[in-house]
A and B are shown apart, each in its own frame.
Chain A
Amino acid sequence: MRLIHGDDRWLFLTPEIEREVPGLLAALGIGDAEGEQERIERLIHRGGIDDWFAYLRSCRARLEGAQVDGESELLAERLAAVLREQYLLVPALREDEEHDAPERRRLEELVWTSR
C-alpha cells in the first residue's frame, strides 16, 4: 500500500484548518461548527487540492460578509491569518493557480485591516 499517493501530499495543509476553522466560523456567525467539521472531513476523505482551495475561498467570502465588531475582530483576524497561511504553504506543492494570488492579497488585507 502506498501511503503518500502523489495526490495526497496536499493533506498536510488540513490540520490547522480542521482544528480552527469550524469554531471560528461558528463564533463569527457564518457557519455551523458541526457542519463545517463534516465538510472538512469529507474533503480529507474524498476531496483533492482544488476542492480544498474552493472551500477556503468560500470561507474567505463568508468572512468578508461577516458582521465584525470590536468583540469579534480578533476572531476574524485569526480566521484570515489561518486561511492566509494556506497560501504561503501551497507553493511547496504547485505553481500559483489563477485564484491564489488575489486570494492571498485579499486575506492579507483582511489580516492587516483588522489590526
Chain B
Amino acid sequence: MSVVGDTKGKTLPARAYTSAEIYEAEMREVFLKAWNFACHVSDVSEPGRFWTTSIAGEPIAILRDSDGQLRALSNVCRHRAARILSGEGACPKVLRCPYHGWTYRHDGQLAAVPEARGFDDLDRDAVKLPQFRVGELCGLVFVCMSEDTEPLDTYFGDLAEKLGRLRLAELTASGRHRNAYDHNWKVIADNYLEGYHIPVGHPGLLRILDYKRYLAHPAKHHTWIDGPFRDKPSKHYQERLYQKLLRPMPGFPSELEGSWTYVHLWPCTFIDIYPDQIDTWQLFPDGLRRTRTEARVYHSGSSAVRDRVVRAINWRFNKKVMDEDVELCDQVQLGLESRTYERGVLNRNENGVLAFHDMLRAAVPGIDEP
C-alpha cells in the first residue's frame, strides 16, 4: 500500500514541521538533491562576476569564469573554512579568501598561498574548491549538489516553455530584499501554494482576482497557479488605480496580461508573475523553526512615471498581503506545536499543497509518520 494512497487528501503530520530529525532528512534528501534557484543570469553575465548563495546551509559561489563558463564552487576556504566571497560583485582574476589570503583560480584550483613555505605538508595541486552542477533555464541560474539528479533541462518538465515566454533574461534585476521568519520553511511554502485562505486572509484580493478561476496546476517539480483578474474595477481607489494604469512590460505574453500568476519551483523558490514586474522569492531554511527569505524584482527598466506608480502600488499591495500571511503563518507554526493536532485535511482548492506534500512523502523517508 502506498504512503501517498493512505494519506490522500491529507496534510503531512505536525511532526514533519517540528522534528529535528525530519529537518535534517529534508536538507539531505530534498535540498542537496534538487536543482535550487541561485540567481538571475545578469548577476553572472561577464567573466569574473559572481553571486553567493547557499543550499541547505552550504555556502556556494556562482561565477562566470574567464572562458565564459558558468561555475558553482564551494564558497569555503580549504585552509580554515572562512567564507571566500560575500554578497555579489566581481573577482576578475582570482578568488581571494579574506581571512589569510589563500587565492583560487576561477575553476577552484588553489593558485597561491601567502607564506607558502610555512606549511610542512601542503600539496597545492591537490587543493581545489569542490564544484557543483550549475545551469541556466530561461534566464535563471540553478545549482544542484548531487551528481545523480536528472539534468536541469528535463528536471522542471515543461517549465521552460511556460517561463520562456517571459524573456526573463532581458529584464533588469533588483538587489536582494532579505527577511527572516520564525516558521518552518514548509509552513511558508504551504501558505503560498493554496488560495483557499484568500477569501478570509486577504478579502481585498477577491476584488482584484477572480477567485473561482484561481487554480493551481501541479506539474513536474513545479506548480503553476493562475490568478486571473476580474473584469470590473475595484471600489477602492488604489486598487482601481492599479487596474487602470497597469500596462504590461514590453514583450509580456498577452495570455498572461489579465492575471497575476504564481509559480512554485521545488523545493522552495517562488516566482510571482505580474504584468508590470516579476519577483522571485526564495526560502532558505535556517533551522527547524527559522526561515530566511530573499526576494528579487525584475522589470523592464522603464522609468516612466506611470510604470513606477504601478510598480509602487503593486509592491504596497503585495507587501500588505505578505504581512497578513506572516501573521497567519505565525499562528500555524504555534498550532503545529500543539499536542492535540496531528494532521489536517485538504480542500480541492489546496491541491498545490497536496502535490507538494506528496513530493515530500516521496523524497523524505519517515516524513509521513505521525
Contacts and interface: CB of A to CB of B under 8 A. Distances in A.
A94 interface: no
Contact of A41 (B205, B232, B236, B313): B232
Nearest to B211: A15
A115 interface: no
Interface in B319-335: 320-321, 324
Contacts of A10: 203
Contacts of B234: 45
Interface residues of B, number: 25
Interface string A1-41: 11111001111111100110000000000000000000001
A99 interface: no
A42 B200 CA distance: 19
Contact of B232 (A5, A8, A12, A45): A45
Interface residues on A, range: 20 to 34
A110 B212 CA distance: 26
Which interface residue of A3, A9, A12, A44 has the most chain B CB atoms within 10 A?
A3
Could you tell me the dominant secondary structure of chain A's interface residues? helix
A18 B230 CA distance: 13
30 contacts: A1-B236, A1-B238, A1-B316, A1-B317, A1-B320, A3-B320, A3-B324, A4-B204, A5-B236, A8-B204, A11-B203, A11-B204, A11-B206, A11-B207, A12-B200, A12-B203, A13-B199, A14-B206, A15-B199, A15-B206, A15-B211, A18-B211, A19-B212, A41-B230, A41-B232, A44-B230, A45-B207, A45-B233, A45-B234, A45-B235
Contacts of B324: 3-4
Contacts of B202: 3-4
Given A5-B204, A45-B233, A14 B199 contact: yes
A8 B231 CA distance: 19
Given A8-B204, A11-B203, A42 B211 contact: no
Contacts, number: 60
Contacts of A45: 207, 230, 232-235
Interface string B202-237: 111111000110000000000000000011111110
Contacts of A15: 199, 206, 211-212
Contacts of A11: 199, 203-204, 206-207
B236 to A, nearest CB: 8
A3 B320 CA distance: 7
B351 to A, nearest CB: 15
A46 B313 CA distance: 21
Contacts of A46: 235
Nearest to B230: A41
B73 to A, nearest CB: 43
Could you tell me the dominant secondary structure of chain B's interface residues? helix
A5 B232 CA distance: 19
Interface string B191-206: 0000000011011111
Nearest to A2: B320
Contacts of A2: 204, 320
Contacts of B238: 1
A9 B203 contact: yes
A33 to B, nearest CB: 13
In the A-B complex, the 5 residue pairs with the closest CB atoms: A3-B204, A11-B203, A12-B199, A12-B200, A19-B212
Nearest to B200: A12
Nearest to B196: A15
Given A15-B211, A18-B211, A3 B203 contact: yes
A44 B316 contact: no
A21 B233 CA distance: 22
A5 B238 CA distance: 13
Contacts of B207: 11, 44-45
Contacts of A12: 199-200, 203
A9 B324 CA distance: 13
B318 to A, nearest CB: 10
Contacts of B236: 1, 5
Given A45-B233, A45-B234, A3 B199 contact: no
A14 B313 CA distance: 25
A13 B199 CA distance: 7
Contact of A3 (B211, B230, B321): B321
